[in-house]
């Protein structure tokens, strides 16, 4: 480590080249951090103590099948179930088809028991429960469209042949969706569909709150057991498992991202290797002098590898940390209509970038440093660059 | 007189290791961009190349995919007997009412896929000549027989001809395989209309496909369908209908832009690094060129040409690497119907020229500053040894 000054001086000898190389590595690491964050978020949907207690019940065949509303009472009787609500995808569109966001028609009587993680005042809770055409919206969603308490809004559905007029009765903060969802009354929704189809009384999901975390597995099994031989069998998953099965539908995206990251790493190695090769070649004679002064081969090798590592790790720091700062201020949930709810460069991703930096640093200098260290001193001293 | 391009080639060959690494670095970047463009192109073409301009798809007003569309059988009869619909030899309209449902099937690489099942009839083959039976035979209606797209076979478990699978709690038999080219139908399973309608207990239609006699007839049918208040339906040409679904590639487009911009900047830095190296080590040569009578602008353009040569070969390498993925098959979710869509990567001439153009832009930006610096080399430097 006593040669750290020498390493730094060597790097600063050609400031422009060092700057360009570090920048090139930094932007690539920025990209890697971004892509890894996408992967992390896809693989690890948000989970809180409250969301871990939530189960999603859907039809056993697929999430496009409907379940009779009568299932609700049967689920409520299952041992370990604290509360259960029906929930139906509404597919709301506000004014323009591009203004699309997550929206569900839900039973309001036990809604706040299933979603205790939504932060909202008692008055607003009651107002939402009382008003059959009331809507509960997330803070971020309300901001996006400039909605305030008491506003009346018209929403079209891109899934059902209905339009609703709703009054905003509550605005919540928090939640695993970070305030990007709209909830309306299931009764109201059901009534409109009944007018359209004659009969309805069906739903796609039931959301269940379990009494305690250790009951999650057994309650899921008991719910599915209850309906196993009925004409509407169910599949019960945790909220997290359900979100994972949705991202799983994106198919080969994960493989694609992983492949891109690998190719980018390879490209970074090439850039860094080019710089190290140029810089070591220019210093052939100097390295000869070092060896003439008594430096061992191993020391020379270490010096050059240290230089390369410092170069690549500077790039990692300048790429990964800004990514972390930049994304911490990003409302990704709003951009993706709630599909991805948070976008955070985790410590794991930072560590991964660090590991990539070390691999790049060693790989970039390995060949030229080895050659330089092995070169006979006399020959190195004689060389003209 | 301009400086001969041969000079640039020779200069690059002198530093062949650096040249090779820079070219490979650009090549990898262009390669990623080409593959991403080929994916986007492949996915979009799957939708935009599906169908015929005389074929009209009729769905519920406001429905963006067949999965969220359903209407009663009386509307079906109202539409198919409209004037302008092609009649077959028995004077029956060439039209087919269909129902589309989505099922979950296990994917070969783990996880589950949502697969669209189309309940249709014999007429479907007349309306969609791109669909051909390649193994086994067509399904017979009423006995729960399925035919499966060949592309699904590679991705989904247990769909070989002769196998029995359980859908919605009852057994079905796979009796044939069809090839639907690269159209959107290549991601589907087909069976008889009544088989689906009865099993799912949904006596409705999702869509109606008919053939118009002429473009004018198609226009007039479209107008009459959408103006008829009784039926609340909308008519589109098959092409229009599927082109709405190209929204499925929006995620890929974001990804491609992100990767192209960030890696483009990184590659620019790499080119700059290489070209600054060239300028620095050739100061005497440049001064000599000036002494020989070449003007500053000749020097600038010569170095720019060199950067462009570098990036051109990088682009070529990238196009070659990207072309290896031509025809590669992948699956993602059709964001309009949430069913799986299988598509092939397509490295088209447009994709390749976009890749090359991208490489040249990188070369131009990367070469600009070093070329300008080359022009500042003064004549007296020829004297400095």
B289 within 8 A of B377, measured Cβ to Cβ? no
Give the tens place of pLDDT for each residue, A126-184. Answer: 999 999 999 999 998 898 899 999 999 999 887 788 889 999 999 999 887 778 899 99
Q: What is the mean pLDDT of residues B272-295?
A: 89
Mean pLDDT of B243-262: 87
State the nearest Cα–Cα gap between B28 and chain A, in angstroms: 6
Size of interface A-B (CB pairs under 8 A): 135
pLDDT computed for residue A385 by the predictor:
53
Give the confidence band of B205 by pLDDT, cuts at 50, 70, 90.
very high
Average pLDDT of A246-265? 85
Token pair for residue B360?
């040249």
Q: How many CA atoms lie within 13 A of B229 on its CB side?
A: 0
State the best of B273, B274, B321 to mutate against chain A, taking most chain A CBs within 10 Å: B273
- Short-list A114, A225, A209, A91, CA closest to A160: A91
B32 or A199: which carries more pLDDT confidence? Answer: B32
SS3 category, A337 = coil
pLDDT for A262 beyond 90: yes
- pTM of the predicted model, to two decimals? 0.85
Chain B residues with CB under 8 Å of A250 CB are 251, 332-333
Nearest CA in chain A to B15: A278
Cβ of B104 within 8 Å of Cβ of A260? The answer is no
Average pLDDT for residues B27-36, to the nearest whole number?
Answer: 95
Which pLDDT score is estimated for A28? 95
Q: How big is the CA angle at A224 (ends A222 and A229), to the nearest 5 degrees?
A: 115
Q: What is the ipTM of this complex?
A: 0.84
pLDDT tens per residue across span A307-340: 999 999 999 999 999 999 998 877 666 666 656 6
A204: how many CB neighbours lie within 10 A of its CB?
20
> What is the share, in percent, of chain B residues with pLDDT greater than 70?
99
Please give the pLDDT value at position B284.
87
3-state SS track over B170-203: EEEEEEEEEECCCCHHHHEEEEEHHHHHHHCCCC
Question: Does pLDDT of B385 surpass 60?
Answer: no
User: Which of A193-202, B184-193, B357-366 has the lowest average pLDDT?
Assistant: A193-202
Query: Would you say residue B136 has pLDDT above 80?
Result: yes
Q: Which residue has the tokens 């305690």?
A: A212
Choice between A2 and B25, residue whose per-residue pLDDT is larger: B25
Q: Do A266 and B28 touch (CB under 8 A)?
A: yes
Quote the minimal CA–CA distance from A257 to chain B in Å.
9
Per-window interface: B 79-138 vs A, CB < 8 A: 101-104, 111-114
Across the range B143-169, mean pLDDT stands at 90
Q: How confident is the model at residue B78, as a pLDDT?
A: 86
Q: How far apart are CA A69 and CA A204, in angstroms?
A: 9
Q: Which helix (H) or strand (E) holds A198?
A: none
pLDDT band of residue B280 (cuts 50, 70, 90) is: confident
Give the mutation candidate from A249, A252, A258 for the B interface (greatest B CB count, under 10 A). Answer: A249
Do A23 and B269 lie within an 8 Å CB cutoff? yes
Instruction: Tell me whether strands A102-106 and A81-89 are parallel, antiparallel or unpaired.
Output: antiparallel
DSSP one-letter string for A100-124? B-EEEEE-STTHHHH-TTEE--HHH
| Segment A207-221 mean pLDDT | 93
Predicted local confidence at residue A340, as pLDDT: 66
Dihedral-angle region of residue B132 (phi above 0 means left; psi in -120 to 50 means alpha; beta otherwise): beta
Q: What's the rounded Cα separation, in Å, for the pair A81 and A75?
A: 7
pLDDT mean over B131-157: 92
At A18-56, the pLDDT tens digits run 999 999 999 999 999 999 998 888 888 877 888 889 999
Average pLDDT over every residue of B29-50: 91
Question: Please, what is the average pLDDT of chain B?
Answer: 90
- The pair phi, psi for residue B266, each rounded to 5°, is -60, -45
- Please give the Cα distance from A117 to A156 (Å, whole number): 28
Q: What is the pLDDT of residue A328?
A: 85
Residues whose CB is less than 8 angstroms from the CB of residue B330 and which lie 6 or more positions away in sequence, other chains included:
A251, A252, A256, B39, B342, B343, B344, B345
> What's the pLDDT at B207?
93
Chain A residue with CA closest to B342: the answer is A251
- The pLDDT score that the predictor gives to residue B270 is 92
Position with higher pLDDT, B356 vs A336? B356
- C-alpha closest to that of B206 among B99, B129, B294: B99
Average pLDDT over residues B49-76: 85
- Which position has the higher pLDDT, B232 or A105? A105
- What integer pLDDT is reported at residue B345 of this predicted model? 92
Q: For chain B, give the percent of residues with pLDDT over 90.
A: 54
Other Cβ atoms within 10 Å of A89 Cβ, number:
18
Closest among B59, B8, B349 to B232, alpha carbons compared: B59
Per-residue confidence band for A220, with pLDDT thresholds at 50, 70 and 90: very high
Tell me: pLDDT of A279 over 90.
no
pLDDT band for B316, please (50, 70, 90 cuts).
very high
Cα atoms found within 13 Å of the Cα of residue B237, Cβ hemisphere only: 19
Long-range Cβ contacts of B379-382 (<8 Å, 24+ apart): B379/B287, B379/B290, B379/B291, B380/B287, B381/B283, B381/B284, B381/B286, B381/B287, B382/B284, B382/B287, B382/B288, B382/B290, B382/B291
Residue B352 burial (CB count, 10 A): 21
Per-residue pLDDT, B90: 84
Q: At what angle do helices B349-375 and B250-281 cross, to 10 degrees?
A: 30
Res B148 pLDDT > 90: yes
CB neighbours of B240 closer than 8 A, spacing ≥ 6? none
Measure the CA–CA gap between A356 and A268, rounded to whole angstroms. Answer: 10
Position A232 confidence tier, pLDDT thresholds 50, 70, 90:
confident
Q: Looking at chain A, list the stretches that DSSP marks H as alpha helix, in order from N- to C-terminal side.
A: 4-13, 15-43, 71-77, 111-114, 122-130, 139-145, 186-197, 216-227, 239-248, 253-282, 284-292, 297-328, 332-335, 347-374, 377-382
DSSP letter string, B51-74: S-TTEEEEEETT-SSGGG--B-HH
């Amino acid at each position: 480590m006593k040669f750290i000054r020498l390493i730094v001086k060597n790097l600063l000898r050609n400031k422009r080249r060092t700057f360009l190389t570090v920048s090139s590595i930094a932007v690539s690491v920025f990209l890697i951090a971004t892509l890894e964050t996408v992967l992390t978020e896809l693989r690890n949907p948000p989970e809180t103590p409250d969301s871990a207690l939530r189960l999603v019940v859907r039809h056993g065949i697929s999430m496009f099948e409907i379940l009779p509303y009568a299932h609700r009472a049967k689920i409520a009787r299952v041992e370990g179930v604290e509360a259960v609500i029906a929930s139906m995808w509404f597919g709301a569109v506000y004014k323009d088809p591009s203004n699309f966001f997550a929206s569900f028609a839900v039973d309001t009587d036990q809604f706040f028991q299933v979603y205790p993680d939504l932060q909202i005042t008692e008055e607003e809770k009651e107002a939402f429960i009382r008003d059959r055409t009331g809507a509960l919206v997330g803070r971020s969603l309300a901001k996006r469209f400039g909605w305030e308490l008491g506003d009346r809004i018209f929403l079209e559905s891109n899934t059902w042949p209905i339009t609703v007029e709703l009054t905003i009765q509550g605005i919540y903060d928090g939640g695993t969706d970070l305030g990007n969802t709209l909830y309306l009354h299931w009764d109201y929704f059901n009534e409109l569909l009944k007018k359209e189809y004659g009969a309805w009384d069906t739903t796609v999901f039931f959301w269940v709150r379990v009494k305690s975390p250790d009951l999650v597995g057994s309650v899921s099994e008991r719910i599915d057991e209850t309906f196993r031989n009925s004409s509407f069998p169910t599949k019960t998953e945790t909220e997290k498992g359900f979100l994972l099965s949705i991202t799983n539908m994106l198919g080969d995206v994960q493989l694609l991202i992983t492949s891109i990251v690998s190719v980018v790493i390879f490209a970074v190695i090439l850039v860094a290797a080019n710089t190290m090769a140029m810089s070591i070649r220019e210093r052939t004679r100097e390295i000869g002098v070092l060896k003439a002064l008594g430096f061992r081969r191993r020391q020379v090798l270490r010096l050059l590898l240290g230089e390369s590592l410092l170069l690549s790790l500077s790039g990692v720091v300048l790429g990964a940390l800004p990514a972390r700062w930049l994304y911490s201020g990003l409302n990704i949930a709003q951009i993706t209509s709630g599909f991805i709810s948070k976008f955070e460069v985790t410590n794991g991703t930072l560590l991964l970038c660090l590991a990539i930096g070390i691999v790049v640093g060693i790989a970039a200098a390995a060949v030229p440093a080895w050659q330089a260290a092995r070169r006979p001193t006399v020959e190195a001293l004689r060389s003209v660059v | 007189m301009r400086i001969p391009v041969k000079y640039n080639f020779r200069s690059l060959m002198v530093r062949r290791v650096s040249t090779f690494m820079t070219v490979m670095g650009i090549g990898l970047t262009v390669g990623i961009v080409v593959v991403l463009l080929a994916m986007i192109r492949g996915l979009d073409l799957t939708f935009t190349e599906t169908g015929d301009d005389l074929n009209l798809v009729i769905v519920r007003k406001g429905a963006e995919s067949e999965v969220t569309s359903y209407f009663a059988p009386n509307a079906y009869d109202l539409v198919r007997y409209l004037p302008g619909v092609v009649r077959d030899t028995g004077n029956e309209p060439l039209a087919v009412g269909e129902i589309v449902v989505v099922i979950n099937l296990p994917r070969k690489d783990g996880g589950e896929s949502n697969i669209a099942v189309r309940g249709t009839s014999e007429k479907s083959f007349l309306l969609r000549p791109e669909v051909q039976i390649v193994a086994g035979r067509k399904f017979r209606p009423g006995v729960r027989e399925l035919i499966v797209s060949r592309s699904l076979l590679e991705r989904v478990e247990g769909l070989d001809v002769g196998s029995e699978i359980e859908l919605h709690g009852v057994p079905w038999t796979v009796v044939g395989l069809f090839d639907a080219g690269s159209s959107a139908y290549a991601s589907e399973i087909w069976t008889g209309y009544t088989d689906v309608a009865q099993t799912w207990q949904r006596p409705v239609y999702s869509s109606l496909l008919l053939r118009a006699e002429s473009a004018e007839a198609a226009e007039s049918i479209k107008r009459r369908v959408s103006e008829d208040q009784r039926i609340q339906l909308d008519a589109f040409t098959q092409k229009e209908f599927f082109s709405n679904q190209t929204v499925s590639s929006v995620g890929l487009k974001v990804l491609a832009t992100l990767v192209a911009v960030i890696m483009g900047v990184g590659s620019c830095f790499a080119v700059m690094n290489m070209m600054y190296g060239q300028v620095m080590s050739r100061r005497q040569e440049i001064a000599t060129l000036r002494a020989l009578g070449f003007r500053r602008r000749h020097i600038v353009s010569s170095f720019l040409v060199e950067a462009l040569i570098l990036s051109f070969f990088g682009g070529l390498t990238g196009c070659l690497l990207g072309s290896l993925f031509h025809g590669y098959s992948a699956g993602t979710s059709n964001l309009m119907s949430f069913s799986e869509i299988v598509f092939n990567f397509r490295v088209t001439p447009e994709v390749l020229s976009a890749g090359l153009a991208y490489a040249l832009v990188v070369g131009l930006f990367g070469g600009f500053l070093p070329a300008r610096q080359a022009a500042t080399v003064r004549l007296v430097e020829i004297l400095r040894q």
